[in-house]
Chains A and B, each alone.
Chain A
Amino acid sequence: MSDPTGDTPAVTVGGAPLHTGSRATRVLGLAALATIALWALYGLVWSPADREMGDLVRLLYVHVPVAILLYAGAGLTTFASAMWLRRRTPGWDALAVAAAELGVLFGVLTLLTGSIWGKPTWNTFWTWDARLTSTALLEVLLIGYLAVRRVDPSPAGGSVRASILGLLLFPNVIIVHYSVDWWRSLHQPATVTRLDPTIEGDMLVALMVGMLAGALTFAWLLLHRFRLAWLEQQVERHDLVAAVADRRAEGDPGAGTPASSNPTPTEPEAQPA
């Protein structure tokens, strides 16, 4: 896969670029970069420290958007898998894998920022907080989904196996989330510092800008990753066409011109009446 010595060194006659970018991604990317800068300024400079949490509240401007995008990735994977099962078009499969991979990325970030926040707050990197725990499980679910996709021998463009696993992903997330929530709420009354301080004014702006920056970044990454999956499908499709030609040539080495479609005149036996 990594070897660029493709059999067809693609011809570039203007038009389609040799990468996954486009005008849309460039606009999106610039917007994302600008918002990220604004986000950093609001989050780290312009907004005040929280009365209780101090400057640590600034981690929430990262943590909350990133966590929401984790759920967005999982939800999108399930949606795309359901659509693939209905329509069976390869685009939905590309969307499912792109969203799942982004889900894993943002899941790692959620766990990282969560435990970095937890260290000074709870004096430990890990605590059996309901959200932290269910996020960890969700991360494992996503990793399992990608692991199955990796070993799935089905041709590109989607498989029933991957789609059903994707379909079950978000329902599982919901069940796991609520049961873990319920489990922890037994022991942990709401008096303990939790991840929801009162946020208003510039702090709210910082969080909102963070959400926007996260959403734009997510969209940009999703578009690129989707196109990458699409390219992978196309490569495999072309390999298949070549393999079919090879296979036919193996049949009749003499007149092995794959382009001229099958000249095999199978006898028209027993016409239907």
Chain B
Amino acid sequence: MSVATASLVAMSDGGYLAAGWGATIGLIGAYALITVRRGRRLSRRVPEGDRRWT
């Protein structure tokens, strides 16, 4: 990834590229984090038989 970051800086319009890629990966990451954490919290309230995945 650092290769990518380095080449971003060198490019024309690097700021736009960084913003676009950064926002996408950042937002998806944040959403994933929130979802997984909500799942962890909620799992404790559900008996095992109702969590059908392993």
Do the beta carbons of A10 and B46 come within 8 Å of each other?
Answer: yes
The number of residues on chain B lying at the interface, defined by a beta carbon within 8 Å of a beta carbon of chain A, is 40
Do the beta carbons of B32 and A55 come within 8 Å of each other?
Answer: no
B53 touches which of A22, A116, A220 (Cβ 8 Å): A22
Do the beta carbons of A6 and B44 come within 8 Å of each other?
Answer: yes
A-side binding surface: helix, strand, loop or mixed?
A: helix
**Which residues between 101 and 117 of chain A lie within 8 Å of chain B, taking CB atoms?**
105, 108-109, 112-113, 116-117
Taking CB atoms, residues of chain A closer than 8 Å to B21 are 40, 43-44, 58-59, 62
Using an 8 Å CB-CB cutoff, how does the interface string of B13-37 with A read, 1 for contact, 0 for none?
1101101110111011001100110
Do the beta carbons of A238 and B48 come within 8 Å of each other?
Answer: no
The number of residues on chain A lying at the interface, defined by a beta carbon within 8 Å of a beta carbon of chain B, is 59
Min CB distance B25 to A, Å, is 7
Counted as pairs of residues, one from A and one from B, with CB atoms less than 8 Å apart, the total is 151
B-side binding surface: helix, strand, loop or mixed?
A: helix
A147 on the B face (CB < 8 A): no
Min CB distance A46 to B, Å, is 10
- The stretch that binds B, out of A75-83, A189-197, A225-233, is A225-233
Do the beta carbons of A44 and B4 come within 8 Å of each other?
Answer: yes
Using an 8 Å CB-CB cutoff, how does the interface string of A224-245 with B read, 1 for contact, 0 for none?
1101100110110110000000
Using an 8 Å CB-CB cutoff, how does the interface string of A202-220 with B read, 1 for contact, 0 for none?
0000000000000001001
Complex Cα–Cα for A36 and B32 (A): 15
Taking CB atoms, residues of chain A closer than 8 Å to B16 are 56, 59, 116-117, 119-120
A58 touches which of B17, B45, B53 (Cβ 8 Å): B17
